[in-house]
Amino acid sequence: MGSNTLFGWRFLLTALLVSLSAFSGADDATEELAQRLASLDSLDADILQNVYADGLLLESSEGKVALARPNLRWQIDTPFPQIILLTERQLQIYDADLAQLTVRELTSGGSEIPANLLIRPQHLLDGDYTVTAVYADGQRIYQLAPTGSSALFQMLEIRFAAAVLESIVILDWQSQQTQILFDNVVTGQPPAAATFQLVVPEGTDVIRG
């Protein structure tokens, strides 16, 4: 449960090093990635989320993700149910087994949260990340290193197979890797508005801040 909750604040979220070639310039790579992410106005997919430390699998979970800008819903179904809802100005994390809802107001727009790149890809152009792009194994791979000291991760990797989002991997400051694999990806069909409305049971403990 701790890893799931931690990921909610970092979301989304580097694969093992592979032989890479054909690096593009950082500015070109940044613009290219921003355009690719901007094309994902809506997305619905199954996810498999694996957390590694020192090469060992610590936790594996399954769920779904739904995106319709400016909203994103990240839902873990097994083994520990959890819903993470990110809207334009607010982050909500609901842990069903704890009967607990955490609410965080994003007064700065939440730019420090990796998931925010799916919602506001134009932030890539603000200079907050150094981006490199490569082709490997038929995939377009983007590696992002934050330029600021307040970032919640060391490196973020985003992979596309053709135009389809394949995976996101996050390396945090404790050298823990969170790998997210996307399957059954559907784009161009926005999820229903109710997908992004979080209703919790009466008596849920609400924590703000």
Residues 6 or more apart whose CB falls under 8 angstroms from that of 179 comprise 15, 49, 50, 51, 52, 167, 168, 169
Residues 6 or more apart whose CB falls under 8 angstroms from that of 135 comprise 21, 22, 141
Q: Tell me the mean pLDDT in the region 144-148.
A: 82
How high is the pLDDT of residue 40?
Answer: 82
Number of domains in the chain: 1
Percentage of residues of the chain with pLDDT beyond 70:
78
Q: Tell me the mean pLDDT in the region 150-175.
A: 86
**Strand ordering across the sheet containing 90-95:** 129-136, 139-146, 155-161, 164-171, 176-187, 42-53, 56-68, 71-78, 82-86, 90-95, 100-105, 205-208
How high is the pLDDT of residue 52?
Answer: 95
How high is the pLDDT of residue 119?
Answer: 67
Q: Tell me the mean pLDDT in the region 86-108.
A: 87
Q: Containing domain of residue 36, as a range?
A: 2-208
What's the CATH number where 170 sits?
2.50.20.10
How high is the pLDDT of residue 160?
Answer: 93
Secondary structure letter of residue 74 according to DSSP: E
Least confident of 24-28, 74-78, 121-125, 164-168: 24-28
